[in-house]
Chain A
Amino acid sequence: MIKSGKIWKFTGVGLIVYVILAGMLVPLKTGIESVEPSFGNAGEVLEIEVTGYNSHFKEAGNAVRAWLKWENGKALASKSIIIKDDRKLTLSFSIPGNLPEDKEVQTVSLLIDNPIDGTSVLPSAIFLRATKGNVQSENDKWVTPGNFSKVTGITFPFRNILGETIRNTYFHVPLWFGMMFLFLFAVINSIKYLRNGTPEFDLKAEAFTHTGIFYGIMGLVTGALWAKNTWGAYWSWDIKQNMTVVALLIYAAYFILRASFEDPEKRGRVCAAYSIFAFSTLIPLLYVIPRLTDSLHPGSGGNPAFGSQDLDNTMRMVFYPAVIGWTLFGFWISSLQFRYLRLQKIQEDLD
């Protein structure tokens, strides 16, 4: 199933060029990078240093508004805002004695709004300890934040820990999609070989497996680099990381199996059967087991992996072309590998 013709190769390359340009050059939405300190007590004045990302506080000046917002919708407006520069603010909040929730430690989000940047949210920004003593109720302090500024322009979402690395989504994740397609075509060609016995299918299966493993290794390496800068370590013994290594080792054994046979027919048949087995392990290893337990990866504890929470509409504009582009690119590499193997076989047959 390797199509002839050049259009699909150029399409793949063109899509990847688009992904590199769009994925790297679209700016991130304004966000809140850090809040210091992140603890406070009820009944006290809380003063926090806020660092924004891609923010323009100085430019916005008096139009900056800030709130601490509870999950039940109640919010506190800031008492004073001191703007240090475009990215640094000192906010002070007068926390009332009575907090809206019934818990001892309550989590609040920080909202900052200004007409230049729009609204930024840092979820679970501050932990407030409720007091147990006798305090006057100050119900007039509660506000509902509203009238949010809208800004135009295409931006990628800002996530506190990820920052700019969110752009990795266009490179790391499509490698895995590509790997699945490549292994899928490997198993299709293996099945075809078992039914027909034409050596071409066996070579195609080998070529697809070769490129699939390459994509898998690149996915692991890019993932490790990304993890170092977000999760803190190159390897976290995360369930998905572990299962991916297991899957790749199973596929690596495919090549050891190939090398251990002399007779090409026998080799082809046994390896084709092994390829079917290897592909059938991919589904439980990569898609079932990681979703069952806790994982650092998106999609764990029963959630669908990489679902609507992980992608934004602006990201989808780059992500879907990225998947198609990298997959087509992988198919091109496989086709080159296959043609090389076929020529090698012709030469062997001549000898």
Chain B
Amino acid sequence: MIMLRYALFMFISIFCTFSLSAANADFMRSIGKIYVVVGVMLLLFLGIVFYLIQIDRRLTNFENQIKSDE
């Protein structure tokens, strides 16, 4: 899962460099490219959220285990 996300991130970065070489002088200002930035931000944020969900589940399991042991 982590490998897949990392691979996706690398793919997007490589894709960005190819687009740059198309000599678009207004690169940072062309609104079209902002979708890439938004995609990366969402990817990053959702990745962190899934990590937190994982922690949340592990804690819940551990707490339930302790409750059932009592």
Contact = CB atoms under 8 A, between A and B. Distances in A.
Interface of A: 9, 13, 16-17, 20-21, 24-25, 27, 53, 332-333, 336, 339-340, 343, 346
A20 B44 CA distance: 11
A25 B45 CA distance: 16
B62 A20 contact: no
Nearest to B44: A20
Given A336-B52, A343-B63, 10 more contacts: A9-B56, A16-B45, A21-B42, A25-B35, A25-B38, A27-B31, A336-B56, A339-B63, A343-B62, A346-B66
A182 B20 CA distance: 42
A17 B42 contact: yes
A24 B40 CA distance: 12
A200 to B, nearest CB: 13
Contact of A332 (B37, B38, B45, B52): B52
Contact of B45 (A9, A17, A336): A17
A13 B49 contact: yes
A332 B56 CA distance: 9
Nearest to B42: A20
Given A336-B59, A343-B63, A25 B52 contact: no
B12 interface: no
For chain A, what secondary structure do more than half of its interface residues adopt (helix, strand, loop), or is it mixed? helix
A263 to B, nearest CB: 25
A332 B52 CA distance: 9
B41 to A, nearest CB: 5
Contacts of A21: 38, 42
6 contacts: A13-B49, A20-B42, A20-B45, A333-B52, A336-B55, A343-B62
A54 B10 CA distance: 31
B34 interface: yes
Nearest to A24: B38
Contacts of B49: 13
Contact of A20 (B41, B56, B66): B41
Contacts of B55: 336
A25 B34 contact: yes
Contacts of B35: 25
Contact of B34 (A17, A24, A53, A339): A24
Interface in B24-45: 29, 31, 34-35, 37-38, 41-42, 45
B14 to A, nearest CB: 22
A215 B49 CA distance: 16
A156 to B, nearest CB: 13
Nearest to B60: A339
Contact of A343 (B34, B37, B46, B66): B66
B29 to A, nearest CB: 8
A83 B63 CA distance: 69
Nearest to B66: A346
B38 A340 contact: no
Most buried by B among A16, A24, A333: A24
Contacts of B52: 332-333, 336
Contacts of A24: 34, 37-38, 41
B64 to A, nearest CB: 11
B45 A340 contact: no
A13 B50 CA distance: 11
